[in-house]
Amino acid sequence: MRKLFSSPLFFVLNVLLVGMVAGMLLSVGLFSCSTSSSDLAPVAARDRDTLASPVLESLQDSFREVAAVARPSVVRIDVEEVRTQAIPRGEDAPWFDFFFGEPDSDRSDRDRQFRTQGLGSGVIVRRDGDLYYVLTNDHVVGNADQITITLDDGEEYSADIVGKDARKDLALLSFETGDEIPVAAMGDSDSLRVGDWVLAIGSPFGFQSTVTAGIVSAVNRRGGPDGNISDFIQTDAAINRGNSGGALINLRGEVIGINTWITSQTGGSVGLGFSIPINNVIRAIDDFIESGTVRYGWLGVSIRSVNSEFASSLGLPDRRGALIHHLFLDSPADRGGLKPGDFIVAINGTRIQDSDQLVLAVGELPVGRNARFEVIRYGERLSLEVRIAERESDRQIAELNRRLWPGFSTFPLSASVRQEMELPADRPGVLVSSVEGRTAAAQAGLRVGDVITRINGQETPEMIDFYLALNDGGRNLVLEILRDGTTLELRIAP
C-alpha cells in the first residue's frame, strides 16, 4: 500500500480528480449567475417600454381618427352599361331559322344587348338640401346606364350623372336622401410637401372603405393617361383597381387629391399611385353644378417646351417657360399682341416651368377676364394683357387649324443636323421641322426638311433672326428656302 500511495500513477489520478471536481463547481456557479430568473423579467419589461413609444402611439391614434372622420364621406360606385352588338343571322341562330326564316335572312343583322359592369370610388363633396354630390373619375362612370352608390354603412342609392369631363378625368354624380351624411372637408393641395403622410381611401377590387397609408412621393407629376392635363400628386400609399375616384387624405382629415391612376406592369400596386390635386378640381365642381360641363380658358396658341440648344438660339436665360410657335388668327392671343416666337415665362405672376404647366394654367383662367402674360421676345422681357375666351371642343378647334399662323415650326441648324443634311457649316438658316395640314404654309408647298435662309429678304441664321423677320413681314411672306441643294422661293399668305 505504501508503494501504491507513493507511486507517480496515484499522484496523477489525484490531480485529475481534483481538477474535475473544481471544474464542475466553477461551471455550476457561472451558469447560476447567467441564468438568474430574477434578472430576466426586468430586461423584457424594459424592451416593451421602449417599443411603446409615445410618438408612434400618437401617429397611430392620428391614423385612427383620420380614417374614422374621412371614411363616411367616401363611397363605392358600381356602374352598369348596356351595350349593343350586331350579330349576323348565320351565327348563333336557332336551327328553325334555316327552315322557317325569311328569305335571305342569313345576310341580315340583328342586335344583341349585353351588360358590362364597372367598379370605382367617389367622394361626397357637396350638399344642397336632400341632394348630395359625389365626385369621381370620368373613366369610372364611362357611358353608364345605371349607377349605384354604396355608403360606408352599407346603404345604397341610385345616382345620376351631373356632368363629365375627359380632359381632367372628372365626373360629378348626385343622389337624394333625407339622411344626414358627412360631406368631405376640402384641403389645400398646394401646401403639400414631399414626405407628407397621406391616406388613400376607396374600394379596391370591391373591398369597400379600404384605408392605406403612405407619403407624398412627388408633386407636379405630368403625363397621365388619355391626355389628362392635371399635374398629379404621386404617392406610395397602396392604390389598386377600384380606388379610382377615391380620396387622398392628409392628417387633418381633408381631401387633398382624387386617386386616379397607377403605374404597374401587373395591374396591382407597386407604390406608384397618382392623384388629381384637389385645387385642380374645386372650380370644376361648380362648373358641373351650374352647366354640366367644365369651362376652360382659351388663349389660341400652339406651344412647346424648348431644349438648351433652342433656348440658346433664342437668346433665352434658361429653358423654364413655353414657346409660342403658332397662334390662331383673331384669337385672344392674336388680339392681345402675342406673337410667334414669344416665350411665356409667367401668368399673373406665377412662373411657368414648361408647356404642360402653361396648358393647365390657361385652362384655369376665368373666361372673359384679362390675364397678364410675361414673355421674352427677341431677348427682352415684356408684359401683355390678354382677354381669355372659352375653349371650344377639340373637334371645333381642329376645324380652326387652317387659321394657324405661320402654320410651320422651325428648329436651329445644329452641327449634327448640318452633318446629316450635308450642309456646309457657314450655310445660314433654320430647319422646317413640321408643317400643319390645311394651313397657308402647307398650301404654298413648304415641306419638312426645307431650310429657310431668308424671309422677305432678311437673313435667318438663328431662331431669333427667324422670328424677327417672320413678325416684321406681317401676313405676307416670301420665303427663300434650300431644298435638296436647290434654292426656291415660296409665298405664304393667310
What would the pLDDT profile of 326-377 be if each residue is shown by its tens digit? 999 999 999 999 999 999 999 999 999 999 999 999 999 999 999 999 999 9
pLDDT at 55: 82
163-166 LR contacts (CB < 8 Å, sep 24+) = 163/287, 163/288, 163/289, 163/291, 163/292, 163/293, 163/294, 164/138, 165/138, 165/284, 165/288, 165/293, 165/294, 166/138, 166/226
Beta-strand relationship, 297-298 and 301-304? unpaired
What does the pLDDT read at residue 52?
Answer: 65
Q: What per-residue confidence (pLDDT) applies to 18?
A: 54
pLDDT at 82: 85
Query: 262-266: long-range contacts at Cβ-Cβ below 8 A with a sequence spacing of 24 or more?
Result: none
Q: H/E element holding 464?
A: helix 463-472
Q: Would you state the pLDDT for residue 213?
A: 96
Collect the ranges in the chain with pLDDT lower than 50.
1, 4-5, 28, 30-41, 43, 95-96, 98-100, 105-108
Which domains are delineated in the chain? 72-96+115-176 (2.40.10.10), 185-291 (2.40.10.10), 297-401 (2.30.42.10), 406-492 (2.30.42.10)
Cell representation of residue 414: 445644329
pLDDT at 464: 94
**Residues labelled catalytic:** 139, 169, 244
Report the predicted TM-score, pTM, of the whole model to 2 decimal places: 0.80
